[in-house]
Amino acid sequence: KAGVTQTPRYLIKTRGQQVTLSCSPISGHRSVSWYQQTPGQGLQFLFEYFSETQRNKGNFPGRFSGRQFSNSRSEMNVSTLELGDSALYLCASRREGGILAKNIQYFGAGTRLSVL
Amino acid sequence: GNSVTQMEGPVTLSEEAFLTINCTYTATGYPSLFWYVQYPGEGLQLLLKATKADDKGSNKGFEATYRKETTSFHLEKGSVQVSDSAVYFCALSDPRSNYKLTFGKGTLLTVNP
């Protein structure tokens, strides 16, 4: 069974540009969450999508947005990039259900974004 | 809100040494607790988990016990290997927030031969 797939693995952008990152969850998983990892702030929750709806949101500015498609694939977008947006962006998927086993989050390898 | 505090390290050990990485948490509900591991250039891999008080999670020689009385979930391994070198993250998952993960800052472990 394929794991969580994130594309691209690496991105280099300049300040002011926008970027779109993609995440394909494990087959059968309906929830997709995004996390930002930086050396200073560690791992921070961005948002979660389920059934094409944003269900949970972290404390990030509106420049960070996302969406989920009917096949559960998700994209996140960052507009007007700032130097501080340089980070590893991780996507995680879970099946969703009434027991913990269905709610464990499995992570992709991440997209490393560098803003110059 | 929920929070996780873990020793930040770095931790440097010789092969076959005993490992402990401390982790404590603050939560108002009944969270599940996890240890994730991140190898260089990779994403996070689930190492072990525990869902309720006194549960012991174990995998690949690593163990951690969910201690509600001390709000702790310390990671231990009796004999580390060079291949265990990685960053280890303690995390909690709260069902009341759709299982959103709250992470500690991570502990870099380096094991020397």
Q: Do B43 and A56 touch (CB under 8 A)?
A: no
Among candidates B73, B59, B36, which has minimal Cα distance to A108? B36
Question: Considering only CA atoms, which of B74, B73, B90, B83 is closest in space to residue B109?
Answer: B83
> What is the per-residue pLDDT for A113?
97
Which of A45, A50, A110 minimises the CB distance to B101? A45
Q: Give the closest-approach CA distance of B44 to chain A in angstroms.
A: 6
- Interface residue B73 vs chain A (CB under 8 A): no
B12 CA to chain A: closest CA distance, Å? 19
Is the per-residue pLDDT at A102 higher than 80? no
Q: Give the pair of three-digit tokens for residue A46.
A: 């961005």
Q: Which of A31, A56, A104 has its CB closest to that of B97?
A: A56
Cβ of residue B106 closer than 8 Å to a chain A Cβ = yes
Average pLDDT value for residue range B67-88 = 96
Q: Answer yes or no: do B101 and A105 touch at CB < 8 A.
A: yes
pLDDT digits (tens, 9 = 90+) for A10-31: 999 999 999 999 999 999 999 9
Percent of chain A with pLDDT over 90: 85
Facing B98 at nearest CB: one of A6, A43, A55: A55
Average pLDDT over residues A66-91: 97
pLDDT tens digits along A33-42:
999 999 989 9
Q: What is the mean pLDDT of residues B48-75?
A: 95
pLDDT score at A98: 64
Per-residue pLDDT of B16-57, as tens digits, reads: 999 999 999 999 888 999 999 999 888 999 999 998 899 999
Q: Strand B75-77's sheet: what is its strand order?
A: B19-21, B75-77, B62-65, B56-59
Instruction: Give the whole-angstrom CA distance, residue B49 versus residue B61.
Output: 13
Q: Kindly indicate the confidence band of residue A116, based on its pLDDT and cuts at 50, 70 and 90.
A: very high
Dihedral pair phi/psi, residue B103, rounded to 5°: -110, 150
pLDDT band (50, 70, 90) for residue A95: confident
3 state DSSP class of B8: coil
Q: Tell me whether B45 touches chain A (CB under 8 Å).
A: yes
Q: What is the mean pLDDT of chain A?
A: 93
Residue type, A53: T
Burial class (CB in 10 A: 0-12, 13-18, 19+), B83: exposed
Look at residue A1 and tell me whether its pLDDT is greater than 70: no
Backbone torsions φ then ψ of A11, nearest 5 degrees = -145, 140
Q: Output the pLDDT for position A26.
A: 94
pLDDT at A110: 96
